[in-house]
C-alpha cells in the first residue's frame, strides 16, 4: 500500500438552474457536514455544530424546559433567515483538515469531484443493532394487546379539557383535580374518557363520582411530581414489558431534537426515552428507540401528526436501550455530479473495499467555528477555568444569529444574567454555562461549567484526545508507512501489546491500534511513543500525569484502529438529468409502495451511489474523503463553492 499526501482538490458545484426554487442560503446548507449523520458514533461523544451544542434530552434542566420550548420556534426562525450568509461568513474562520492532523491517504487512485448531500435524502443511515441486524422500518402495525384501546381516546376530550388536564399534569393550576362532565353518559363513554386521560396524560389517575344526580369523571395526580418522569405502575398490564421499543425513521432532524418533539407531543419528559446511538441532522436515519410505559398505539398515533417522522416495528420488552450497544451503522450515500471516469470510480471503490481508509476523527469532532472544541478541552485539562469560560462565551468571527447578541453582552458586561436575557434558546452549552455562572458566581467557574450535561462537557476533552490521535497517526504513517512494524501495538482481547520483531510478519496494518492519550494506556515502543510525549509537552501537558483533580476530567485513554475496512461495500454509477430526482429508495417509500423514478440512460449528470457498513465511532466522511481525495472540511468546501459560483 502506498501513502499519499492530501492536496487541495477542488470539489465541483452545480450552478443554480433558472427554475430551481432553492435559494442561495439553502445551497450553503447542503454542505453543512457538521449537522449530518456522517459519524457512525455510538452516541457516547456528542459533536458540536455552529449553532451551539444542545444538551442531551435526559439531562436538560427541568426547571427551564418549558421556558425554552416556548422560545425555541421564534429563535430558530430568526436564525434561519440569514443561515446561508451566516454559514459562509463563519466558515472563513473555520478549520481545514490539516489543522487537525488529517493529511494522509492510503490509496493511489486519482481523486475526482462530486457533490455530497445535494439533498439530505442522498445520505441514508440505518443502525446496526448489537445482534448485527440492520434496523429497518417495515411494519406500522400495532401489537395485538393494544388493540383494546379505542381510537376514540384521541377525540373524546375537548380542546378545553385537554388544556386543563395538561395544566394539571404540569402542576400549573391551583386546583388538585379536574372535573370532566360526561355528555351522553354511558358506561362505554366513561371508559373511553378514563382511557384517554390515563393514556394521554401520564401521571394522572381518574375516578367516577356522582354530583347532583349526574356521573362526572375526576382527574387527579396519583404520585406527585415524580409521576411525570415515572408513569403509573398500576395502570400498566403486568404481563407486558415496561418498555415499548420502536423504530424511528426521521428526515433532517437529529436524534435529540426528534426526542424533544416526541416528548412534547406525548406530554412526557424526554428522559423516559433511550437509544443506543445518536444520529445527526442532515440525513434520513433509521434507529431503534425505547420509551417507558407509553403504548404502541399512542406512538402510532403520532404518524398522523408529525411530518418527516415515521414510527413502527413496535414491541414490548423488559429492558431499555443503552448507549453504545450497537455494532455500527450502514450508510447509503449518493455523490452527485461526479467527474470521475468509470475506471476511476472502480479503482477508488475497490481500494475502499479491500484496503479501507485511515480511521481519522472527522471534522465535525472539532467544531465548525473559530473556536475549535479541542482548545476548550486543552484548557480544561490545564484547569484554566477562566480560559474555558472565555473560549465558550467570547464573540466569534463571522457568527450571526441568536448567539451573537448574547456573546456581545457577555463581552461588554461579564454579567451572566444580562447575557442570558439576550439568549432565546437556553438549552445550548452557552446558556447552560451562563446559568451556572449566575448560580455559582465568577469565582467558581468549575462548578458553573458543571451545569453543562456531563456528555457535553466530556466532548471537549475527547476532542483534544482526538486531535492528538489524528496528528500522531499521520506521523506514524509518514514514518513507517502502511505496514506493521516492531513496537506497534495490537490488541489481544482488550489488552494492547507491542509487536515483537519475531512476530511482525504475523500482523498487518489492519491489526495496528494507536492509543488516545490517558493514564491507563500503553504507548508504541518506537519513536512514535516519544512523539506523543513531545506533542503533549508542547501543549503544556504531562503524558505521565493524565489524572485531573476533578475526576470527570481524568483521561484513562483508549485504543483505536489505524485503518478501517468497511463491510458490505457495493456501488453503482447512475445517470440523471434532474438534480431533484431521488436516487435512494427509502424505507417509507417502500412501505407506501412508491417506486423510484426511472433513471435516465442518457442523463447529463453522473452520480456514485455507494453502500457500506462501519463500526461505532467511525466517520463516514473519512471513507468518502478516501474515495474523492478531497478535503472534507466545511471551510474548504464553502470557499470552493463560493469561488466557483462567482
- Cite the DSSP H helix spans in 362-425: 373-381, 385-393, 402-413, 416-421
Write phi, then psi, for 249 (nearest 5 degrees): -100, 125
How many residues are there in the chain? 646
The whole-angstrom separation of Cα 175 and Cα 332 is: 54
CA torsion angle for 250, 254, 260, 261 (degrees, to 10)? Answer: -30
Give the separation between CA 286 and CA 297, rounded to whole angstroms: 20
Distance CA 517, CA 532 (A): 8
What count of other Cβ atoms lies within 10 Å of the Cβ of residue 211? 10
Rounded Cα gap, residues 423 and 64, in angstroms: 13
Q: What are the cell numbers at 447?
A: 462548578
At 79, which helix (H) or strand (E)? helix 65-80
Dist. CA 68–CA 241, nearest whole Å = 33
* Spatial separation of the C-alpha atoms in residues 418 and 373, rounded to whole Å: 25
Instruction: Kindly name the residue from 161, 254, 280, 631 that is annotated as catalytic.
Output: 280
Residue whose C-alpha cell reads 476511476 in the numeric block: 344
Q: Which three cell numbers stand for residue 40?
A: 457512525
Residue that has been written with the C-alpha cell 466517520 in this structure: 619
Q: Is the CB of residue 197 less than 8 Å from the CB of residue 165?
A: yes
Q: What phi-psi label fits residue 313: left (phi over 0), alpha (psi between -120 and 50 degrees) or beta? A: left
User: Is 20 designated active site?
Assistant: no
Q: Are 41 and 462 in contact (CB under 8 A)?
A: no
Residue numbers annotated as active site: 280
Amino acid at each position: 500500500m502506498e501513502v499519499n499526501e492530501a492536496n487541495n482538490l477542488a470539489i465541483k458545484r452545480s450552478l443554480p438552474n433558472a427554475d430551481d426554487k432553492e435559494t442561495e442560503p439553502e445551497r450553503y446548507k447542503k454542505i453543512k457536514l457538521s449537522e449530518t449523520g456522517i459519524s457512525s458514533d455510538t452516541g457516547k461523544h456528542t459533536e458540536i455544530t455552529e449553532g451551539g451544542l444542545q444538551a442531551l434530552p435526559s439531562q436538560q434542566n427541568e426547571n427551564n424546559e418549558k421556558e425554552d420550548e416556548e422560545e425555541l420556534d421564534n429563535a430558530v426562525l430568526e436564525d434561519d433567515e440569514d443561515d446561508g450568509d451566516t454559514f459562509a461568513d463563519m466558515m472563513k474562520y473555520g478549520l481545514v483538515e490539516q489543522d487537525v492532523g488529517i493529511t494522509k491517504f492510503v490509496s493511489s487512485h486519482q481523486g475526482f469531484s462530486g457533490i455530497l448531500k445535494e439533498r439530505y435524502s442522498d445520505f441514508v443511515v440505518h443502525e446496526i443493532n448489537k445482534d448485527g441486524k440492520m434496523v429497518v422500518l417495515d411494519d406500522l402495525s400495532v401489537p395485538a394487546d393494544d388493540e383494546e384501546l379505542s381510537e376514540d381516546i384521541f377525540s373524546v376530550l375537548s380542546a378545553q379539557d385537554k388544556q386543563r388536564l395538561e395544566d394539571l399534569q404540569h402542576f400549573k393550576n391551583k386546583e388538585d383535580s379536574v372535573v370532566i362532565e360526561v355528555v351522553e353518559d354511558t358506561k362505554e363513554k366513561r371508559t373511553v374518557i378514563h382511557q384517554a386521560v390515563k393514556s394521554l396524560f401520564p401521571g394522572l389517575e381518574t375516578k367516577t363520582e356522582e354530583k347532583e344526580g349526574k356521573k362526572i369523571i375526576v382527574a387527579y395526580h396519583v404520585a406527585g411530581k415524580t409521576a411525570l418522569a415515572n408513569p403509573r405502575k398500576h395502570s400498566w398490564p403486568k404481563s407486558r414489558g415496561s418498555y415499548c421499543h420502536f423504530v424511528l425513521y426521521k428526515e433532517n432532524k437529529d436524534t435529540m431534537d426528534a426526542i424533544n418533539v416526541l416528548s412534547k407531543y406525548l406530554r412526557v419528559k424526554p428522559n423516559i426515552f433511550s437509544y443506543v446511538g445518536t444520529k445527526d441532522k442532515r440525513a434520513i436515519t433509521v434507529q431503534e428507540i425505547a420509551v417507558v410505559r407509553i403504548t404502541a398505539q399512542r406512538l402510532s398515533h403520532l404518524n398522523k401528526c408529525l411530518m418527516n417522522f415515521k414510527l413502527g416495528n413496535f414491541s414490548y420488552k423488559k429492558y431499555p436501550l443503552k448507549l453504545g450497544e450497537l455494532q455500527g451503522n450502514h450508510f447509503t450515500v449518493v455523490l452527485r455530479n461526479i467527474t470521475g471516469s468509470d475506471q476511476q470510480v472502480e479503482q477508488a471503490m475497490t481500494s475502499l473495499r479491500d484496503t479501507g481508509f485511515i480511521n481519522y476523527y472527522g471534522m465535525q469532532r472539532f467544531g465548525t467555528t473559530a473556536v475549535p472544541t479541542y482548545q476548550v478541552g486543552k484548557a480544561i485539562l490545564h484547569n484554566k477555568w477562566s480560559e474555558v469560560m472565555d473560549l465558550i462565551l467570547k464573540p466569534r468571527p463571522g457568527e450571526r444569529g441568536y448567539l451573537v447578541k448574547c456573546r456581545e453582552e457577555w463581552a461588554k458586561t461579564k454579567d451572566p444574567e444580562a447575557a442570558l436575557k439576550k439568549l432565546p434558546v437556553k438549552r445550548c452549552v452557552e446558556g447552560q454555562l451562563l446559568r451556572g455562572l449566575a448560580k455559582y458566581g465568577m469565582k467558581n467557574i468549575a462548578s458553573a461549567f458543571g451545569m453543562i450535561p456531563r456528555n457535553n462537557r466530556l466532548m471537549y476533552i475527547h476532542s483534544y484526545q482526538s486531535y492528538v490521535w489524528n496528528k500522531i497517526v499521520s506521523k506514524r504513517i509518514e514514518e513507517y508507512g502502511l505496514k506493521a512494524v516492531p513496537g506497534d501495538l495490537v490488541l489481544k482481547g482488550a489488552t494492547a501489546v507491542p509487536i515483537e520483531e519475531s512476530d511482525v510478519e504475523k500482523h498487518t496494518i489492519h491489526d495496528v491500534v494507536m492509543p488516545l492519550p490517558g493514564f491507563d494506556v500503553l504507548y508504541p515502543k518506537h519513536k512514535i511513543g516519544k512523539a506523543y510525549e513531545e506533542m503533549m509537552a508542547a501543549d503544556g501537558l504531562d503524558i505521565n500525569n493524565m489524572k485531573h483533580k476533578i475526576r470527570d476530567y481524568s483521561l484513562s485513554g483508549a485504543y483505536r484502529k489505524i485503518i478501517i475496512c468497511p463491510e458490505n461495500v457495493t456501488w453503482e454509477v447512475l445517470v440523471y438529468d434532474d438534480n431533484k430526482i431521488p436516487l435512494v429508495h427509502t424505507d417509507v417509500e417502500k412501505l407506501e409502495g412508491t417506486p423510484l423514478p426511472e433513471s435516465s440512460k442518457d442523463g447529463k449528470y453522473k452520480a456514485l451511489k455507494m453502500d457500506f457498513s462501519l463500526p461505532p465511532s467511525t466517520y463516514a466522511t473519512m471513507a468518502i474523503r478516501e474515495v474523492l481525495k478531497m478535503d472534507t472540511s466545511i471551510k474548504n468546501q464553502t470557499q470552493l463553492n463560493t469561488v466557483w459560483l462567482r
